[in-house]
Amino acid sequence: MKNTIILLNVLFLCSFPLIGSEPEDSIRTFYEDGRFTTECKVWIDASEEVTNSLMDDFIIQFRSNLDSLFTWALKDMNLRGEGDEFIIYYLKSSEYNPETEIIRGKMDVIVPKILTVPDITIEGKMYKKELTDEQVVVQYDILTATGFIREADATFKIVRENANSAWCTLDLRVKFGWFFNIFITKKIYKKNLEWRFEQLARNLKDEAQKRENASNCGL
């Protein structure tokens, strides 16, 4: 009977995560000289093979297969016309020119009851580079975004802590065009865009750990 009680206590304690067993995720936003900067950081328990394949798939699908990307990386981000209190986005298409390496996307931006800007063309480049054996980066530079964005770039980085764990960091820097810059305050930015960036980070984390689990199970 005593051994049974001890076993039950051990099982009960093991059902809860250990305090401090996983570093905390974080997100913060700064505003200076008309530019918003958002830094997001999430902890991923996944191997280098898994995180590299994740980054490769993100680039390939962002270039030419948005429908697939919306099933994991862009899911639950309200980027296909879902209602929003401030600004509604509809990311419609993405095409890649291998000769120029430019990705051309089209998007509608709607400010409810005020303005609709259809077919905004966004041209940019996305590429992967290895900084060191422990750091791999996907960089996205927006070259043009007629009327909506003045300038922007984003960095998606994997920084390995060990063979089975890494930090995934997402950094976004953006300046809006004159019209949108008038009313996008830091408060509105946080309610309209910051949470989307955080959702992207969490989607990447969930997908990496899903793939890692499948790999460990031999699937």
How many Å apart are CA 123 and CA 212, to the nearest integer? 33
The pTM of this model reads: 0.84
SS3 call for 47: coil
How many Å apart are CA 189 and CA 172, to the nearest integer? 12
User: Which residues neighbour 63 within 8 Å (Cβ) at sequence distance 6 or greater?
Assistant: 94, 95, 96, 103, 126
Residue with tokens 């499948």: 214
How does the average pLDDT of the chain come out, rounded?
87
Q: For residue 200, which phi and psi values (nearest 5 degrees)?
A: -60, -45
Beta strands in the chain (DSSP E): 26-32, 35-44, 88-97, 102-111, 115-130, 135-145, 149-162, 165-176
The count of C-alpha atoms lying within 13 angstroms of the C-alpha of 149, restricted to the half-sphere facing its C-beta, is 21
Question: Residue 121's beta-bridge partner residues?
Answer: 106
Q: What is the pLDDT of residues 11-29, one digit of tens each?
A: 444 444 444 467 899 999 9
- What does the block give as tokens for 99? 């000769």
What is the spatial order of strands in the sheet that 88-97 belongs to?
26-32, 35-44, 165-176, 149-162, 135-145, 115-130, 102-111, 88-97
State the pLDDT at residue 21.
62
User: Which residues neighbour 178 within 8 Å (Cβ) at sequence distance 6 or greater?
Assistant: 150
Sign of CA dihedral 46, 47, 50, 56: positive
State the pLDDT at residue 45.
95
Domain limits, the chain: 22-216
User: CATH assignment of 22-216?
Assistant: 3.30.530.20
Dihedral angle computed from the Cα positions of residues 167, 80, 127 and 41, in that order, rounded to the nearest 10 degrees: -10
* Per-residue model confidence as pLDDT tens for the chain (219 residues): 544 444 444 444 444 444 446 789 999 999 998 899 999 999 999 999 999 999 999 999 999 899 999 999 999 999 999 887 788 999 999 999 999 999 999 999 998 888 898 999 999 999 998 887 678 999 999 998 887 888 999 999 999 999 999 999 999 999 998 888 888 888 889 989 999 999 999 999 999 999 999 988 865
State the pLDDT at residue 131.
80
State the pLDDT at residue 145.
83
SS3 call for 145: strand
User: Which residues neighbour 135 within 8 Å (Cβ) at sequence distance 6 or greater?
Assistant: 157, 158, 159, 160
